[in-house]
Structure 1
């Protein structure tokens, strides 16, 4: 009978814990949906919210687990005020006791008093502890072993309390693991996106992968710290409630059954059962302690393994980045050296071609200038010979005229005026020829200046033509270098 009663109480508490966990999961999902629905409004005050909560699916999973844990803790914390109120209400105040009454009568009065006074506190630890004690005494029809049963109920409540936080401890353990998983995924994405041939274009993808790696770790560690401290506070408060319930039961309930202290000595069978139960409890405690130490060692080993894996991944990433950057920079340096050599060779060829053409232009211009000078000299010699002949002819004519005038002066007296007029005309003609000769001399200077200007214009034309050919050669060389560079880059 008592075992069935205790099993029923344990089953009821297990169902309540299961319902609390289920409601915690549902509320956690609702909180997650509400948080992501309100996240765009948070961006006004915290622009980096999207980066830490929506950049990768690991961040969604981390936030979901965090809100499930917070909702579960909230459900547990919601019941604490009612527990405190039940402890402070003095539920056994006003209970009439009869020292001569039996345990069964005392239990009946206690049950009726609880149904009358504690209607609103039926689901609290205190009322359920009192109900379990009433069921125990009613089933055994005796108060023997009540203190031991109270200790058993306290240990069972502590065990259920510890089991009730199993989901939260699992979430607290899983959130950092998700962060490390995001780190591994981000580092893997960064390594996969490294392309040494196109390092500048792939640098954005590499940094995005590294951002995912470190953002997920930072988010998971921050949320796990919040969850751990919240769990510590709520669990400590609930453990304090259980301790207060145990103290209340030992102080108030044991005094309701004074006959239990006057019982005769225990039988050998009962002593053997108690020793076996104590041995079982010690073995169970040692087994639980061993299991907890093994679990702690496994967690430490897992943490060390994750730390070593993360260190190795970081070292591999550093080596890969250094090797990729070194290889890419070496390739760029070689390509720049080759392009520079080709450009210098093309420029030297173009400069040589330009120098040759300039030399040819200068030689041609010198030849043309020499030919012009020769032609001008020949023209000057021709004009000079013609002027000399004209002067000699006029001198001969004047000599002949003088001889004729001397010989026939008497015959020319009548024609003196005509001769004088003729001489005047000849002098005018001579003056005109002199002016013509002066103009010829001035034209010679003009021709020299024109020749110099013509030479300068010809030289400028040659230089312009040579520069145009040089620019065409340079454009062709640059086009050839661009084609080769694009071919190498592809």
Structure 2
């Protein structure tokens, strides 16, 4: 079977489908006579999804088996010695090297073809670097091809449980439909039994399809993962073989020649396009002399200008210093002339301030004395008036107490008269006398009430003398 480049580890998809179809047919043929068993019931009586699940599992299993066979063959090929020791590896154009490359290319194993491609790169380039780069590219291509080759089985492993869930949905739908029909037609015992059988068969389909799908997905996924890891180890072993046993034999002879050629080309370009150093010295010397002359003349002119400005500045500073000295002397003279006048004015001002202070102090003392005497006199007058008012108040209080005593005696007398009158009225002898006494008492009552009223005493303070 022919392969495209870098696809030595690929598995033929038509062959995989053929093997899966044969495997599915064999399984169903084996259980055809055993349909009454549990496994036969799972395969034949649980819907079309079981066939699809078994077929998908057969595809994954066939792919895994074919892949494992190829990888095992490559591991056996890796144990052989593909690198001849007696060859002249330092000569990329050696006929023996050409024949070795053709023999390796004709071999169908991945290790032989990778060695052949590395040798071909060494023959065409003549250095080890190009061969190493091609070997690295080969490794990347093989890894990518390995990843892509597992796309189909991974999809199928993912799809197998989904088919089981689809069967579950179909079974539950059948059970629900049968149960609803059973409720509508349930009338006799036989009909009830038949309806219950329909419901249970639908539930059996629902759970059995999921069971088979999950079991087969686990069954085919584990070998697939192991084979994928086995292939990764094979690719790593091939890379190690190339780096350790083939590439070190190549001679890296291209770099010194290239460096020498590059140096010669640079020297030739410099000699062709640039003038000689002798041709550049005279113009440079002339230019330097002219530049130095112009620079010296310019420097001298600038120096003269700076010197002139400096002399002018010094002259201005001298004039300013003379004016400052004259103004200072004039100020000192004026200050010495006016110093005596300033002292006399200050002494007069101090004398005037002292006189004013004494005068103000005397006036304040006299005013304070007059105010104090006036306050003392007013206090004495107020004391006399308060004492006189106190005596008058005491006399009036005594009169009030005496009036109170008289009123109490009058009230007591009235009470006694009332008692006597009551006793006399009980005796009934002198009614006329009593009538007269009552009239006199009636006349005395207003006076007694007037005397019995409370009195208010008000003290009024005036500026007039008390007589």
TM-score (norm 1): 0.46
Query: Which entry has the higher C-alpha Rg, 1 or 2?
Result: 2
Greater percentage in helix: 1
TM-score (norm 2): 0.49
